[in-house]
Amino acid sequence: MAGLQRMIHNVREVELGDATSYSDGRLTVSRDEAQDIVAHPALGQVRVSVTSPGDSVRIVKPLDVVEPRSKGPGGGGIYPGWLADVDQPRGEETHVLRGAAVLAAGFLPRLEEGLIDMSGPASDLSPFGSTHNIVVEFEKADDASWEAVDDAIRRGLLRLAAHLGDAALEAEPDTVEEPPAPGPVGDLPRVGAIINLQTQGSFKDVFVYGKTLANCLPTLVDPDELDDGIVVSGQYGHPALRNPSYMHANNPVVAALRRRHGGDLAFAGLVLSPEPVQQGAKEHISARAADLCRVAGFDAVVITKEGGGNADNDLSLKIDALADYGIPTAGLFAEMSGPGGTGTPVVSPPRSDATMVSLGNYDEQVSLPAVERALGGDRLHDADADATAEVEVPVAVILCALNPLGWGHLTCREAA
């Protein structure tokens, strides 16, 4: 049986129009259709806008980001647990509108304020500064709970992403990608990955097949399932350290291991693991994740996290648990070293030897020029400034600038 096939449609332009369509790299979005798709009794108002790379636009308070995808009419089973039954046959072809993103922007409780600039120096620091974005702004209905608003926005984004993906079902793809399945290759070392998912309750949770992974044990999954959108984010802390749903479906660590599969290593598989809150639970889950890697025959493991200093502990405990089995590891960390870069970089480092990859300094300051238009709100509260103003902010506020799955362009080096 053939494996996953990605039918890639490169989006080079996005616009609002009378009807939603995709043709020759142009994605046309019907605002009325899009707003109807997202509308929900928990939402008092929904506004859909589009913005493209180079626009003088700042998106403030970004929440989740989703890539337009579909496996057939109505989404064809994409985003199981949300848009489809988890056991629905999903087929092998996934149509991907590469270069486009659907994202929500606005206030939710426990949100840590972030931004995306579509031009200027910050645009290169977020993956969504270079995508054509369909932005959903919203208001809370008077009698709705914030939990209901969160759920409504999440489901609305996924429906809209599937709807836009449907627009390309009949289009000829620009390319077809057939990523390799994990498995042994001769005597090559078998390298797997552990992806830690934040599980800290409402507004700081990540879902697998529509359910939180809290109180679950680590689980081995087929990497192709990521392409189906089984991992959906509801985590709004630490903007630079978030892994939006878009990033899970395009997991950079998995992509790198697939690229090297059959070259200098064999991609061995993928473990999803919760990040509990209590120390005892962190130790238990870390031990079970190491057991799973050992039983699955991993010779080495790359480990990623989600969140700030608390999540450093989840990563370090897994490094130590794997070291006890003699399994070498590499961990991806963002440093929290203060504006000058001289502070202690990791809140909770491992006690054992490991390769630690720096994703950059959370506290480094960047100056952002004023922009003409803002989406998602009128104020940057953390900077005490209008949302369109010239500001100096830490890298920490730029969405995915220090992405724990390894998308970013930043690292730390010793001064020359």
Average pLDDT for residues 364-383, to the nearest whole number? 96
Count the neighbouring beta carbons within 10 Å of the beta carbon of residue 211.
11
In eight-state DSSP terms, residue 74 is: G
User: In terms of Cα–Cα distance, which of 365, 386, 382, 383 is closest to 374?
Assistant: 386
- pLDDT, residue 92, reads 83
* Length reported for the chain: 416
Per-residue model confidence (pLDDT) at position 187: 97
Mean pLDDT in residue range 227-255:
96
> Model confidence over 140-188: pLDDT tens digits?
999 999 999 999 999 999 999 999 999 999 999 999 999 999 999 999 9
- Which helix (H) or strand (E) covers residue 241, if one does? none
Give the pLDDT confidence score for residue 2 in this predicted structure.
Answer: 64
Q: Which helix (H) or strand (E) holds 146?
A: helix 146-166
Q: Distance between CA 175 and CA 160 in Å, rounded? A: 23
The token pair that represents 293 in the structure block: 């890697």
The encoded tokens of residue 350 equal 């491992």
Average pLDDT value for residue range 78-87: 94
Strand, coil or helix: 391: strand
Place of tokens 């399994």: 327
Mean pLDDT of the chain: 95
Q: How confident is the model at residue 300 (pLDDT cuts 50, 70, 90)?
A: very high
pTM of the predicted protein model: 0.96
Q: What is the mean pLDDT of residues 6-33?
A: 98
- pLDDT at residue 135 in the model: 98
Give me the phi and psi of 145, to 5 degrees please.
Answer: -80, 160
Which residue, 145, 167, 127, 124, is CA-closest to 37? 167
Q: How confident is the model at residue 310 (pLDDT cuts 50, 70, 90)?
A: confident
pLDDT for 277 equals 92
For 327, list phi and psi in degrees, rounded to 5.
-100, 115
Q: Is the separation of the CB atoms in 299 and 305 below 8 Å?
A: no
Q: Which residue has the tokens 């939402």?
A: 43
Which band of pLDDT confidence, cut at 50, 70 and 90, is reported for residue 416? low
Confidence of residue 307 (pLDDT cuts 50, 70, 90): confident
pLDDT at 3: 82
> Per-residue pLDDT averaged across 231-235, rounded?
97
pLDDT at position 1 over 70: no
The pLDDT of 331-350, averaged and rounded, is 88
- How far is the C-alpha of 3 from the C-alpha of 179, rounded, in Å? 8
Q: Is the pLDDT score of 415 beyond 80?
A: no
Contact criterion met (CB below 8 Å) for 137 and 201: no
CA distance readout (Å), 361 to 38, 138, 309, 351, 404 = 36, 32, 13, 22, 12
**Residues 246-262: tens digit of each pLDDT:** 999 999 999 999 999 99
Residue 409 confidence (pLDDT) above 80:
no
Q: Give the model's confidence band at 347: pLDDT under 50 very low, under 70 low, under 90 confident, else very high.
A: confident
CA distance 403 to 127: 9
The stretch 202-212 carries a mean pLDDT of 96
Mean pLDDT of 34-43: 98
Question: Is the pLDDT at 413 greater than 80, yes or no?
Answer: no
Per-residue pLDDT at 64: 98
Cα torsion 285, 290, 295, 299 to 10°: value is 160
Mean pLDDT of 87-91: 82
Residue 19 has pLDDT above 90, yes or no: yes
> If you average pLDDT over residues 57-80, what whole number do you get?
97
Report residue 324: phi and psi, to 5°.
Answer: -60, -25
Average pLDDT of the segment spanning 394-416: 86
Tell me what the mean pLDDT of segment 349-372 comes to. 93
